Amino acid sequence: MLTLFFVDNLPTTVGQIYEFENEDANHAVRVLRMKAGDIFMLSDGQGSWSQVKAFAVKKKSLEVEVMASGFQEALPTTITVAQALPKSDRAKEAIELLTEAGVDRIVPWQASRSIGKVSEKFSITAREASKQSRRLRIPNVTDIATTEQICEAIKLSDLAIVFHESTTTKLSDAISSHNVANLLIIIGPEGGITPTELDQFVEAGAKVALMGRPILRSAHAGIAAVAAISALLKVW
């Protein structure tokens, strides 16, 4: 698969000459050592893409010609993950994994037992992970949300699932319909979701499910949940 970079002003006209000159271009020249004749992809991060061919390499930029362009439609199910904040390194890992799993929206959640903090670099992490995973749509990383705000999001979703080890309900039994336009997945902190938080989520309309027998780290649970639910909903 062709290397992917993001630009703000995506060229989309076939035959158009474009000066690729942002930080991604600098990386392409200095680190990847791209040269004239190399073909790669540019995207606006919102589904539009162009396949381009480099014909001139400068110190920090490349001149390219547009060979083809198009638009990738969004999947029928929009996936939002409310992720309780783990420690800094784990938080970055969680953002990377959720991005690679195809999540559309990542909501850092300030749970009672959260020990991490929101970083302005989360959006950068999502952008870089999108390039790595060759996804044309960069997920939206929101500001930190309270438990009350997560409850409001539950009410607006078609299906909200919170994972907790206290339940005996299998994930496969918690999903009764494939017709889900807005999915919300809630992942707790390393210390676990408190009984009060769990009661609030259930009262708001969330279903509680068990994610297998092993207890995953908070940073890793999200990608497992997204994978399992995407398969069950036939998104994948």
Tell me the domain boundaries of the chain: 4-71, 78-232
In terms of CATH architecture, what is 78-232?
Answer: 3-Layer(aba) Sandwich (3.40)
CATH class of 4-71: mainly beta
pLDDT at 138: 97
Average pLDDT over residues 112-120: 75
CA–CA separation, 18 vs 64, rounded Å?
A: 5
- pLDDT band per the 50, 70, 90 thresholds, residue 190: confident
- Are residues 52 and 41 in contact, defined by beta-carbon separation less than 8 angstroms? yes
pLDDT of residue 116: 66
Strands 39-43 and 140-141: unpaired
- Give the model's pLDDT for residue 214: 80
- For residues 195 and 217, the model is more confident at 195
- So what's the pLDDT on residue 65? 97
The per-residue pLDDT of the chain, averaged, comes to 92
Q: How many CB atoms lie within 10 A of CB 119?
A: 16
- Report pLDDT for 115: 74
Contact of 43 with 135, CB cutoff 8 Å: no
